[in-house]
Amino acid sequence: MKKHYEFSPINLGRWLIWGTFVLVLVVAPLVFTGGLARTVLSQMGIAIIACLSYNMLLGQGGMLSFGHAVYTGLGSFLAIHALNSVSAGSLPLPVSLVPLVGGLAGAGFAVLFGYVTTRKSSTTFAMITLGLAELVFAMSLMIPEFFGGEGGVSGNRVAGSPTLGITFGPQVQVYYLIAAYTLVCVAAMFAFTRTPLGRILNAVRDNPERVEFIGYDTHWVRYITFIIAGFFAGISGGLGAISFEIVTAEVVGAARSGGYLLFTFLGGATFFFGPIIGGILMVLATVLLSEFTKAWLLYLGLIFMFMVMYAPGGIASLIMMNVRVAAFGKLRPLWRSYLALTAAGIVAFAGLATLIEMIYHLQLNHTSGTTMSFLGINLDVHGWGSWGGTLAVVAIGMTALEFIRRKFLLQWGTIQEEIEKEIKRREALS
């Protein structure tokens, strides 16, 4: 029995999804016309490519890497040096092709480091990537001639003669360049999942012993995938070099690699579109959320813990579970439960957020006075009433959320049983 809908002679659903994706890429800068908005959109495209390339290792290959920023970062450095060579006139290359230099650099370093790295799997693989990431980051501070020291390496993307009036000076031109690369890279990585190598990679992830038994070398499957992932990671880094016109040692740091891991997991590593969601969330968190609160990293940590406990498949898994329920016409009875969960979650989150902001104000902003305003409410961080009221909101919200969650799980289980019965009935009729 097919798990998806297909329409002859073409798969209409897939064409609609990809058409919508293209439309969003084209229309987005026309809707969000501000300079900051277009910069954020550009960063989303870069993050999507990086997270999808990381998911080739984690989600598709089962390779937990703590050093993916090595390949995005080194791709950025090679791309910025190539951009400077273009500006100096020593490299006859259009600026639009500079990201490919980053891609080739990422693939080249993946060839260099990957052979040893991919000889092992599981925890050993993860530790090797972590050690390699720390090694490269240390080298970035020791070789200022290439990495630029603490100030990094800067460049100018407005180089060479304009092509069709495109100079890449305006941010909108940079965005459409990134959008074009994003579309091509996403399509190429999706096509990879449909290739024999992509299928064998999934098998290596699930049962490497059986793959060895049927005659495939699991090391070479991982190694080739590692190189391909490095290529796309390098393209992401090259696009970042053009967008920001500066590359610092931070791009090869462990924090950047941890970010790829965190947001790929939050988006959903088991589904292809999960890292796309993760890349968007990555930019929203690092660019926008960080502007609203100093505790944004703490919020990310709490969200990560929540997802690990209650939704280990990420946001994509939650979407697909509800799509399955909707396909069998069972979604309508869940709306009241969803509304109740949302309401209780908002109350609990508001209480926790208020508590966190009060603690941060008490510890970091004590020179600003004892009063603060949050969510339109004036609070006194030295007053027992504010702390007591906040703790009461947290307790009420968490209690209500847990009570509603347990009732929801019973309702969800009943619906899943009904769906399984319907599937068996259809199989019996076919």
d(CA 96, CA 19): 24
Residues 176 and 101 grouped into a single domain = yes
* Statement to judge: residues 305 and 360 lie in one domain: no
Query: Tokens at residue 361, please?
Result: 């104000």
> Distance between CA atoms of 73 and 204, rounded to whole angstroms?
28
In a domain, 13, yes or no: no
Q: Which of 278, 311, 344 is the last residue of a domain?
A: 311
Residue 109 shares a structural domain with residue 243 = yes
Q: What is the pTM for the complete model shown?
A: 0.91
- pLDDT, tens only, 307-363: 888 888 899 999 999 999 998 988 888 999 999 999 999 999 999 999 988 888 888
Judge if 418 and 279 occupy the same domain: no
Check whether residue 150 and residue 251 sit in a common domain.
yes
In a domain, 88, yes or no: yes
| 3 state DSSP class of 87 | helix
DSSP string, 351-390: HHHHHHHHHHHHHH-GGG-SEEEETTEEEETT-HHHHHHH
**Do the bridges between strand 153-154 and strand 246-247 make them parallel or antiparallel, or are there none, so unpaired?**
antiparallel
Residue 282 and residue 365 share a domain: no
The DSSP call for residue 9 is S
pLDDT tens per residue, range 227-285: 999 999 999 999 999 999 999 999 999 889 999 999 999 999 989 999 999 999 999 99
Is 16 within a domain?
Answer: no
Q: Which pLDDT score is estimated for 236?
A: 97
pLDDT the model gives residue 260: 95
Tell me, yes or no, whether 71 and 182 share the same domain. yes
Q: For residue 243, what pLDDT is reported?
A: 93
Structure tokens at 260: 């790829």
Q: How many CB atoms lie within 10 A of CB 292?
A: 9
Nearby residues of 66 by Cβ (< 8 Å), 6 or more positions away: 126, 129, 130, 133, 254, 257, 258, 261
Mean pLDDT over the full length of the chain: 90
Q: How many domains does the chain have?
A: 2
**What pLDDT, on the 0 to 100 scale, is given for residue 10?**
63
Does residue 335 belong to any structural domain of this protein? Answer: yes
Residue 318 lies in a domain: no
288 part of a folded domain: yes
Angle at 284 (CA atoms; ends 376, 306), nearest 5 degrees? 80
Same domain, 234 and 160: yes
First-residue to last-residue Cα distance in the chain: 9
Are 212 and 355 within one domain? no
Same domain, 103 and 169: yes
Q: Are residues 290 and 344 in the same domain?
A: no
pLDDT value at 373 more than 90:
no
212 — phi, psi (to 5°)? -65, -35
DSSP 120-135: S-HHHHHHHHHHHHHH
Tokens of 55: 């998911």
* Span 326-340, pLDDT tens digits: 989 888 889 999 999
Q: Are 392 and 262 in the same domain?
A: no
For the range 31-36, what are the long-range contacts, defined as Cβ-Cβ under 8 Å and sequence gap of 24 or more? Answer: 35/171
| Domain housing 359 | 328-429
**What does the pLDDT read at residue 1?**
44
Of the residues 255, 283, 311, the one at which a domain ends = 311
Say which CATH number the domain at 235 has.
1.10.3470
Where among 252, 279, 311 does a domain terminate?
311
